[in-house]
Structures are given as structure tokens and as C-alpha cells.
């Protein structure tokens, strides 16, 4: 059975990740797997090249001491990781999620996600990680890497969970936006919520045709849909509508351009996740 994979790291966002995962799990009637990955910096140190700097006996003594320190540090990191997972599991169970499993891994988050992504119906991650308070204008170091790589829908949790009653789909007519519409229409996750469908552009006949086709697909699934095309820069227009209409969840495609092009012209995906204070559900 497919599951929700919730990535937690013990940061301020971990509680929100759990709450968003619990919300989705109740509506999708599925289990949650909590994933906590111990990065290499958490489990080992990298000693400098000591050759030529110290006498042989002193070098060996220092290396032995570093090895003992690494072993103690690794054990503490494992214990902390287990505590983080146990507390998150208790939070999910208290929120009404019947099946919760945990997975503690060493290495890189993206590598770990690639191994288990095939089992996932949805991946949940925080907008920022353990350095959240020190980087309020920046996204977490893992988020863009994960968003560019995972093929499952990715829910980026805001700092705190709020009830979701109204959602907006940023529709550009591309494959990712069309996939978002298709999955929303077929899934119970957002059933019964107010739906806004927004395209940004000149409003030419082809753009309006695609937008109306998407709106009809959602209406056929039982959604009450308001669809519109507005001119302007996508990141500015979308952010303004999110604020003006008190949108609780933004849906959009993830990174429609290559990483190199994004470095040159920027990325609507990055801009939206950074500027919006609500969760963002992304599709590839």
C-alpha cells in the first residue's frame, strides 16, 4: 500500500510536517512513514591532514582520540534521531493516524528518499530545516534538491499548520499543472474545498481554452471552481491572489525550467515557496 513519507529533522518545522502529514493521512486513509536522516556532519568529523605536523606518536594518539569522539558523537546522534522519531510518532498517533512507522538512516536525505519514493503517495517536507531561525529569507538546503528530484507530489509545510478550506492551482497549461488538475480531480484529499484556478499571462485564446478545460475537469469531479486569467509577473500575481483571497494551500508545478536557466532568470517555484506563508503542494 502506498504511504505518506514525512521528512523530519528536529527543527521548528518538524511539528508542522507531522501535522500536515496527519491531515493528509486522515483524508487519504493511508499510513505515514517518518524519515529522519543523519547527515555525514552529524555522525563523523574529518580530521586535517596531520602528516609532517606532529610526531608519529602524537599523531596516532590524536587520531585515536578523534575516533573515540566520533564514536560517541555517532551514538548521541542515533539516540537523538530515535527521540525525534518517537516524539513525531506520538504526535501523529495523537492526531488520529492509526499506522505510523519510522525510519532512521545515515547519509544524504535525497539518496534515502530515492530508495523509498516508490512506496510513497505523497512526500512531506518542511520549508526550512534546523537553521530556520537564522535564515528566514532562505529555503532549506535540501528542499530544492528534493523538489527537483522526487517524482511524487511534494507537500512543502509552512511553519505552522492551519485548517485548509480554500486552495489555488497556479495553472500554466504545462504537463505539471495538468497533472495537478488530474490528481486533484481523482483524489479525496481536497474534495469539498473551495477551488481557485489561476493562469497568468496575456489571456490568448489557447491559454483560455486550456484553463477552461482544466476547470471543467474539476467541475466534473464535483468541485466548485472559479477560474481566471490575469496579466503580470507570475510570482507577483500569484502571491497577491493568495493573500487577497486568504488561500490556505497553493498547488503548482515544480521547476519547469532547468537549473541553469533558473539561475539566470529565477524560478517561479522558488519565489512562491519563499514568499507564501502557506503550504505548497508541488507536482512534477
Q: What is the pLDDT of residues 195-234, one digit of tens each?
A: 999 999 998 999 999 999 999 999 999 999 999 999 998 8
Q: Is residue 35 part of a domain?
A: yes
Beta bridge partners of 223: none
Q: Order of strands across the sheet with 120-126?
A: 100-106, 32-38, 3-7, 120-126, 154-157, 280-283, 249-253, 166-170, 194-200, 225-230
The answer to whether residue 143 scores a pLDDT higher than 90 is no
Interatomic CA distance for residues 203 and 208, integer angstroms: 6
The residue range of the domain holding 202 is 164-283
- Band of the pLDDT at 167, cuts 50, 70, 90? very high
Verify that 144 and 24 share a domain, yes or no.
yes
What is the average pLDDT value for the chain, to the nearest integer?
84
Q: Is residue 188 part of a domain?
A: yes
Q: What is the pLDDT of residues 98-133, one digit of tens each?
A: 999 999 999 999 899 999 989 999 999 998 755 544
Q: Is residue 145 part of a domain?
A: yes
> What's the CATH code of the domain at 35?
3.40.50.620
pTM of the model: 0.83
Contact 283, 174 (CB under 8 A): no
Verify that 144 and 199 share a domain, yes or no.
no
Q: Among the three residues 155, 175, 209, which one is the final residue of a domain in this structure? A: 155
Verify that 91 and 188 share a domain, yes or no.
no
Amino acid at each position: 500500500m502506498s504511504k505518506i513519507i514525512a521528512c523530519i529533522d528536529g527543527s521548528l518545522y518538524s511539528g508542522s510536517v507531522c501535522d500536515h502529514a496527519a491531515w493528509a493521512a486522515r483524508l487519504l486513509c493511508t499510513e505515514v512513514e517518518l524519515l529522519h536522516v543523519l547527515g555525514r556532519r552529524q555522525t563523523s568529523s574529518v580530521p586535517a591532514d596531520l602528516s609532517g605536523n606532529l610526531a608519529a606518536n602524537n599523531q596516532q594518539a590524536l587520531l585515536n582520540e578523534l575516533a573515540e569522539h566520533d564514536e560517541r558523537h555517532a551514538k548521541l546522534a542515533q539516540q537523538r534521531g530515535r527521540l525525534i522519531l518517537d516524539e513525531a510518532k506520538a504526535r501523529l498517533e495523537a492526531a488520529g493516524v492509526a499506522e505510523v512507522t519510522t525510519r532512521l538512516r545515515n547519509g544524504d536525505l535525497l539518496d534515502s528518499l530515492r530508495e523509498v519514493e516508490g512506496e510513497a503517495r505523497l512526500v512531506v517536507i518542511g520549508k526550512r530545516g534546523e537553521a530556520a531561525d537564522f535564515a528566514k529569507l532562505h529555503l532549506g538546503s535540501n528542499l530544492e534538491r528534493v523538489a527537483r528530484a522526487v517524482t511524487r507530489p511534494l507537500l512543502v509545510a509552512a511553519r505552522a499548520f492551519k485548517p485548509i478550506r480554500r486552495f489555488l492551482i497556479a495553472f500554466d497549461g504545462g504537463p505539471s499543472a495538468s497533472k495537478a488538475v488530474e490528481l486533484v480531480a481523482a483524489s479525496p484529499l481536497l474534495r469539498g474545498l473551495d477551488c481557485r484556478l489561476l493562469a497568468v499571462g496575456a489571456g490568448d485564446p489557447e491559454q483560455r481554452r486550456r484553463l477552461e478545460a482544466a476547470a471543467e475537469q474539476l467541475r466534473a469531479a464535483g468541485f466548485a471552481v472559479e477560474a481566471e486569467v490575469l496579466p503580470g509577473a507570475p510570482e507577483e500575481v500569484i502571491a497577491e491572489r493568495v493573500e487577497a483571497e486568504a488561500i490556505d494551500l497553493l498547488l503548482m508545478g515544480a521547476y519547469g525550467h532547468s537549473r541553469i536557466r533558473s539561475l539566470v532568470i529565477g524560478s517561479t517555484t522558488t519565489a512562491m515557496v519563499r514568499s507564501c506563508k502557506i503550504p505548497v503542494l508541488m507536482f512534477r
